[in-house]
Chain A
Amino acid sequence: MAHTFQPGLKPRAWLPLLLCLAAAPAEAQSPSANERPAAPLSSLSGYMDVQFVNPSNADAFIDFRRFVLIFAHRFSDRIRFVSELEVEHAVVEGGEDKGELELEQAYLDFLIDRRFSIRAGQLLVPVGIINERHEPPTYYGVHRPFVDTFIIPTTWFDAGVGVFGEAGRGWRYRAYAMAPLDAAEFSAEEGLAESPQKGSRAIVRHWAGTGRLEYLGIPRLTLGASFWTGRATAGAATSDPRVTLVEGDGRGRIGRLELRGEIARVFMNENDAATLNRLRALREGIDPNLASQLFGAYIEAAHPLTPFPAPREVVGFVRYERFDTQYRMPPGYVPLPEFKRSAWIVGASSFPDPDVVVKVDYTVEMNESATMKAPRAFSVGLGWWF
């Protein structure tokens, strides 16, 4: 007779387990208490990201961009806690336009089975490559891609509850119900970047749904598709516009060549977008000229520049991005050419340790405006993970 070690309950055991999960001691499911290893119950990790940026249209600056501490605790093999506390821009001053102290993650996982588990709390939205995988050594370039800033508002997090697991043969999924976006923060220039409510007294007149499906069945290749849909908070329940984001991405390696790409598109009903523009114009005095669709995509290639393995590894990369925060406009609205943008980013990352990275890159941003010249920037970054 087969013996199933936890967490590997049969599907029919899920329902009673869900009902008594909070009350039942996890140890009751274990083979025996004395088989339990003495692994640490609590752990601390973190990462840092400090940047020097010299843009063509402003003064050079140095910014302690992110300092993040990750705390995790294992109550049992079934119940775990993970949190991520981030200080952005080094200083947090109340009521002033300075840094931010953000609780990016703080959730409990109820591990039922590899195929089905439950997660609740402050969650990362499972959309795109960067949002759930944003430690500095894991991506090339001092800055995150523009697409993962304006179209997918990383780091995108909010309060929610959902399920995750593996469907077999390399398929992995997560699906959450989360607090919706704040339509009052949509912007013609920065798209959705400022619109997450971040679990801070988030208004939930309508729940948003999000999900991601990943395929990891082929070694060295990860393919993903994700979505977000929900009626964003706009001031009145009747005028809350539905915002839907669909995204696809892939990353893989051929020998020492690394490739990754991502495509994302945001949809809002044309009439809803027009209504939102009128509502915000009345409230704010200026028509925000919001689009009904946003679009972004990028492709990136990276290859070691030196034949040396760690700790003398230097990897060069090049990335091309297109991102348009006014891809389609509602009737009566005209897109501004400076928001139809593209960018080339070329640079290198040196890894004196696999968890420490020194980055340098040069960004050439372009737009279709004859008068508004897009900036260029030279950047240097330093990051680590432990």
Chain B
Amino acid sequence: MTRVRIGAVLFLVMAICPYAQERTATIRIAAERFRFTPDEIKVRRGRTIEFRLESDDTDHGFRILGTDIDRIIPKRGRGSITVTFTPDRAGRYVFECSKLCGAGHEFMHGVVIVED
């Protein structure tokens, strides 16, 4: 009976893992004055996006307009942050640097395009 239970659990784990991987898109974004790279990201609706953000110079902000996501990306050499975002509607989600980073700060933004 115990073997059956263990087998069932293993089966479930194996079944769920690929599904979870498929449902999560990991996007690495490099932030530097005054750009995000990449600055245009396309995903299918319902997928969770895991942003991994790292700065190449000063600290920047990462804010997705219309959501409560607003995080500081630490300075170069001080690691990265991970931000998870699950858009529930198709459309264009603009993200921007939310920490003043220099004369070209207003140019520093990008967009997540969520498609049906």
- A residues sitting closer than 8 Å to B (CB atoms) are 1-8, 30-31, 35-37, 39, 43-45, 70, 72, 77, 80, 82, 84, 105, 109, 111, 114, 124, 132-135, 137-138, 164, 172, 216, 219-220, 222, 309-311, 313, 353-355, 385
When distances are taken between beta carbons in the complex, the residues of chain A under 8 Å from B55 are 354
Alpha-carbon distance A1/B38, docked complex (angstroms): 26
Contact A138 B75 (CB under 8 A): no
* Bound Cα distance from A216 to B110, whole angstroms: 12
Highest count of chain A CB atoms <10 Å: which of B30, B66, B107:
B66
Expressed in whole angstroms, the minimum distance between the Cβ of A136 and any Cβ of chain B is 11
Among B61-116, those with CB < 8 Å from A are 61, 63, 65-70, 75-78, 89-94, 98-107, 109, 111, 116
User: Could you tell me the distance between the alpha carbons of A77 and B66 in the complex, rounded to whole angstroms?
Assistant: 10
Q: Which residues of B contact A77 (CB under 8 A)?
A: 65
- Cβ contact within 8 Å between A5 and B92: yes
For B36, give the chain A residue with the smallest CB separation.
A216
Assuming the contacts A4-B91, A6-B94, A138-B57, asked whether A43 and B99 have C-beta atoms less than 8 A apart, the reply is yes
If A39-B98, A133-B33, A138-B57 touch, does A82 touch B105 (CB 8 Å cutoff)?
A: yes
Q: Is the CB of B92 within 8 A of A8?
A: yes
Known: A114-B94, A164-B107. A30 touches B66 (CB 8 A): yes
Task: Give, as a whole number of angstroms, the nearest-CB distance from B10 to chain A.
Answer: 41
**Would B70 and A45 count as touching, CB distance under 8 A?**
no
Which residues of chain B are within 8 angstroms of A111 by Cβ–Cβ distance? 106
B contact patch SS: loop
Q: How many residue pairs bridge A and B at CB < 8 Å?
A: 107
Binding site for A on B (CB under 8 A): 30, 33-35, 37-39, 55, 57-58, 61, 63, 65-70, 75-78, 89-94, 98-107, 109, 111, 116
In the bound complex, what is the Cα–Cα distance between A222 and B32 (angstroms)? 12
Q: Are B106 and A82 in contact (CB under 8 A)?
A: yes
Instruction: Tell whether, in the assembled complex, residue A37 and residue B104 are in contact, meaning their CB atoms are under 8 Å apart.
Output: no
Residue from the list A4, A114, A134, A135 in contact with B109, Cβ < 8 A: A114
Tell me how far the C-beta of B75 lies from the nearest C-beta in chain A, rounded to whole angstroms. 4
Complex: A172 Cα to B109 Cα, angstroms: 12
Chain B residue nearest to A216 in the complex (CB) = B35
With both chains docked as a complex, state the minimum distance between the C-beta of B42 and any C-beta of chain A, in angstroms.
Answer: 13
**Are A6 and B104 in contact (CB-based, < 8 A)?**
no
Complex CA–CA separation, A354 to B67 (angstroms) = 30
Chain B residues near A84 (CB-CB < 8 A): 103
Chain B residues contacting A309 (CB-CB under 8 Å) are 76-77
Would you give the shortest CB distance from A326 to chain B, in whole angstroms?
31
18 A-B contacts, Cβ less than 8 Å apart? A5-B91, A5-B92, A35-B66, A39-B61, A43-B100, A45-B100, A45-B101, A45-B102, A82-B100, A82-B105, A132-B104, A133-B34, A172-B107, A216-B35, A310-B76, A311-B77, A353-B75, A385-B58
Is B77 in contact with A219, judged by CB distance below 8 angstroms?
Answer: no
Query: In the bound complex, do residue A133 and residue B104 qualify as a contact, i.e. CB atoms below 8 Å apart?
Result: yes
**Which residues on B sit within 8 Å (CB–CB) of A124?**
103
Q: A2-B92, A8-B92, A105-B103 are in contact. List 19 more A-B contacts (CB 8 A).
A: A2-B116, A3-B90, A4-B91, A4-B92, A5-B65, A5-B93, A8-B111, A35-B66, A35-B68, A37-B63, A39-B70, A44-B100, A72-B100, A82-B106, A84-B103, A138-B102, A216-B39, A310-B76, A353-B75
Measured in the bound complex, the distance between the Cα atoms of B77 and A355 in whole Å is 12
Contact partner, A5, options B33, B61, B76, B94, Cβ 8 Å: B94
Which of chain B's residues have a CB closer than 8 A to the CB of A134?
A: 103
Contact B92 A354 (CB under 8 A): no
**Cβ-closest chain B residue relative to A35:** B66
- CB closest chain-B residue, reference A32: B66
Q: Is the CB of B75 within 8 A of A354?
A: yes
CB of A103 to closest CB in B, whole Å = 13
Assess whether A219 is in contact with B102, with CB atoms less than 8 Å apart: no
Residues of B within 8 A of A44 (CB): 100
Q: Chain A residues near B78 (CB, 8 Å)?
A: 310
Instruction: Name the A residues within 8 Å of B105 (CB-CB).
Output: 72, 82
Distance A354 CA – B107 CA, assembled complex (angstroms): 21
**A38: min CB distance to chain B, Å:** 8
Complex CA–CA separation, A132 to B58 (angstroms)? 16
Partner of B66, one of A5, A222, A385: A5
